[in-house]
Structure 1
Amino acid sequence: MKHERRAQVTELRAKGRRLEGYAATFNTETRIADAWSETIAPGAFSASIGRATDILALVDHDPARVLGRTRSGTLRLSEDTRGLAFDLDVPDTQAGRDVLALAERGDLGGMSFGFTVRDEHRSGDRRELRAVDLFEISVVSAWPAYPETVVQARSQVQLPQHLAHAARTLRIMEAMKWGS
């Protein structure tokens, strides 16, 4: 099976040592390498997150920059009507500090996910992902493909007033096509 990756635009709230939001959204159409349009069907991730597999949270799909994993409980995944939701405890590592600093500034490009296709439906130049084997989600620095993904940084403690700017919500207004 071919491993594939998809990226998404994000909404960011930089606030503390947790990231939460959506790594993928359902029924959101995007163009893949100007070759076809793709959407993700509700439930596409349910088999993957329901099994006892180990799914990683990475930076830019780089296995040398692990942020968390389901096996250790530092990454929690679920599906709801909007998409693939995640909740990530960000480590106090260089990669973790970098991600949080970029989130606070609004400089991250989005979220992404790595997968192999289990079931799809094709019609002309349209493809619907109906079931995938998810092996990782990634915080990406640039060029997301799917719009509408949400990432929020959360803190376990109340932030001081001088850090209130970190709690603002940033919406990335234009989606850039992956690889363009």
Structure 2
Amino acid sequence: MSETEKRALACEVRAEMEEGQPARIIGHGAVFNKRSEMIMGMFKEEIAPGAFDDVLGDDVRALFNHDANFVLGRTRSSTLALSIDAEGLRYEITPPDTQTVRDLVLAPLSRGDITGSSFAFRVAQDGDEWREDEDGLIVRTITRFSRLLDVSPVTYPAYPDAGAAARSLEARCSEIKGLAQRAINQRRARERFLEIIGA
């Protein structure tokens, strides 16, 4: 079963086209310290600064809508550049100069029809922390990735509901939900015990 996950954001991604220069697509695949919407109705997620430190040297692809048949760039060929800034994981793509890319990607980006960005990743072992916040929500903080597979401008910035990644995450969520509830129950039991003994 695949451990690959994808996240999509409704954040700025834009096309820059200057006379006599190759077109560029610029955006953020991920942002730091901002909570996601509910994922699978079970938890929210945030990414800690430093989480990408081990994967910036990976051979990453830039895809359109995570479609491996629609490659826009690649770090190995220097048509995709990744960097970290104060906001998060920034990418800059120099896409192929083809009519297909101009029609299906650059024109909709320029018009503002496509505004989302996404990235596909694997979390490192012990690279995430789960907790319950003050509102009773389960929050996953990713502190370290083991692999960055792709960054993508996307038409629909939403978590995918189907596929191996969703099934893998769903199984992990069930396990985490049980662990989180046990931890909460244990904490309440300890607090009650300390109340009883007057400590």
Instruction: Normalising by structure 2, report the TM-score.
Output: 0.68
Specify the alignment match of 2:153 in structure 1. Answer: 139
What is the CA–CA distance in structure 2 between the aligned matches of 1:9 and 1:81, rounded to whole Å? 18
The question of whether the paired residues in 2 share the 8 Å contact of 1:44 and 1:131 is answered with yes
Which structure features the higher share of helix residues?
2
User: Which ranges in structure 2 are unaligned for 5 or more consecutive residues?
Assistant: 18-22, 133-137, 162-199
Match among 31, 39, 46 for residue 32 of structure 1: 39
Instruction: Look up the SS of the partner of 1:46 in the other structure.
Output: coil
The question of whether the paired residues in 1 share the 8 Å contact of 2:13 and 2:117 is answered with no
1:58 aligns with 2:63: yes
What is the CA–CA distance in structure 1 between the aligned matches of 2:100 and 2:55, rounded to whole Å? 26
1:76 aligns with 2:91: no
Higher relative contact order (CA 8 A, sep 6+): 1
4+ runs of 1 displaced by more than 2 Å? 10-15, 93-96
What is the CA–CA distance in structure 2 between the aligned matches of 1:94 and 1:112, rounded to whole Å? 24
The question of whether the paired residues in 2 share the 8 Å contact of 1:32 and 1:178 is answered with no
Tell me which structure has the larger Cα radius of gyration: 2
User: Which ranges in structure 1 are unaligned for 5 or more consecutive residues?
Assistant: 146-176
1:130 aligns with 2:131: no
The question of whether the paired residues in 2 share the 8 Å contact of 1:68 and 1:89 is answered with yes
Q: Which whole-Å deviations, capped at 9, do the CAs of 1:79-127 have from their partners, x for residues lacking one?
A: 1221001111121235521110111111114000000111000113110
The 1:93/1:35 distance shift into structure 2, 3 A limit, reads farther
Q: Which whole-Å deviations, capped at 9, do the CAs of 1:20-61 have from their partners, x for residues lacking one?
A: 121110011012121100001111111100x3x210000111
The question of whether the paired residues in 2 share the 8 Å contact of 1:121 and 1:128 is answered with yes
Q: How many residues align?
A: 145
Instruction: Normalising by structure 1, report the TM-score.
Output: 0.75
What is the CA–CA distance in structure 2 between the aligned matches of 1:140 and 1:23, rounded to whole Å? 10
The 1:99/1:120 distance shift into structure 2, 3 A limit, reads same
What is the CA–CA distance in structure 1 between the aligned matches of 2:15 and 2:65, rounded to whole Å? 18
Root mean square deviation of aligned Cα: 1.7
Give the AA of the match of 1:108.
I
Match among 118, 142, 146 for residue 112 of structure 1: 118
1:103 aligns with 2:117: no
Q: CA offset at residue 72 of structure 1?
A: 0.2
